[in-house]
Amino acid sequence: MDQLTLHADGISATIVGQGAELVSLRDGDGTELLWQAGPAWRRHSPVLFPIVGRLKGDQLRHSGQTYPMTQHGFARDRRFAWAEQGPTSCTLVLTDDAETRTHYPFAFRLAISYELKPRQLGVTFEIANTGDQPLPASIGAHPAFNWPLLPELPKEAYRLTFADNEPAPIRRLKDGLLLPEPQPTPVEGRTLPLSERLFDDDAVILDKPVSQSVRYAAGHGPAIEMSWQGMNALGIWSKPGGAPFLCIEPWHGIASPVDFDGELTDKPGLMLIEPGARRTLSYRIDLSRDS
């Protein structure tokens, strides 16, 4: 089976084996909340592994050798194996093989679990180092939600509300790489007003977020709260030019700085997992409605 739909308390979530990707999330009213991979962007909620963002020259460097590695890594384009399937939960697994080692010369096991509860979808990433050398890795979520969630509302009616004030400067990208200078944050206290112009210069990146949750809503209709554990950065993105989706992306890791082309193990922001060890990270999507 390459597709599984979970059901709980009237909501549903559909996951496919290709990329272990969430491709549908419907609330209790049957409203589709997830972007349906239209012409503006052909993905729904890809998993970013073993890197987040881009490496300089799309080259991974390790022990004096270089390996081709495209933006956000290869997991989103690989078929995962179904390890568990149930009415409200499932687990999919990707392990290294001859193909992955031509891009990423490390042994690993990546397990992604989805669990649907009333008005809540939990997603857990477990990265295990099955090799005999430290495993340098990043992982990130990239769910794209419809923007607007209700077609009759304007995009500008929506805002992101963080759990805490977010006064720190943000980071921006150029050609997928991290610019050296932080920029003033567009977050006003806890609130980020949303507009298409916000993404003229690519993603808004909080590389030191105080909050561990953010709410996406317009004060009317469906509302989404994203929360995360173990992540150290948050990306917020929509494709410039008016694409009708908003990505809210908890990450552990970040794109390479524009001037960094060193060893992967020295890349800022990633994990180094010792042989035999594992790391567990997670995020959760809570669904509600505003009157």
In this predicted model, what pLDDT tens digit does every residue of 11-39 receive, in sequence order? 999 999 999 999 999 999 999 999 999 99
Instruction: Give the position of tokens 């549903």.
Output: 12
Mean pLDDT taken over the chain: 97
Q: Is the dihedral of CA 68, 72, 77, 79 positive or negative?
A: positive
Fill in the amino acid letter for 73.
G
Give, in degrees to the nearest 5, the angle at Cα 120 between 234 and 242.
50
Q: Counting Cβ atoms within 10 Å, is residue 197 exposed (0-12), middle (13-18) or buried (19+)?
A: exposed
The per-residue pLDDT for range 160-207, each reduced to its tens digit, is: 999 999 999 999 999 999 999 999 999 999 999 999 999 999 999 999
Task: State the Cα–Cα distance between residues 107 and 131, nearest whole angstrom.
Answer: 5
Find the Cα–Cα–Cα–Cα dihedral 50, 51, 55, 60, rounded to 10°.
Answer: -20
For residue 141, the Cα-to-chain-centroid distance in whole angstroms is 2
pTM for the whole thing?
0.97
Per-residue pLDDT, 26? 98
Instruction: Give the position of tokens 């790489």.
Output: 177
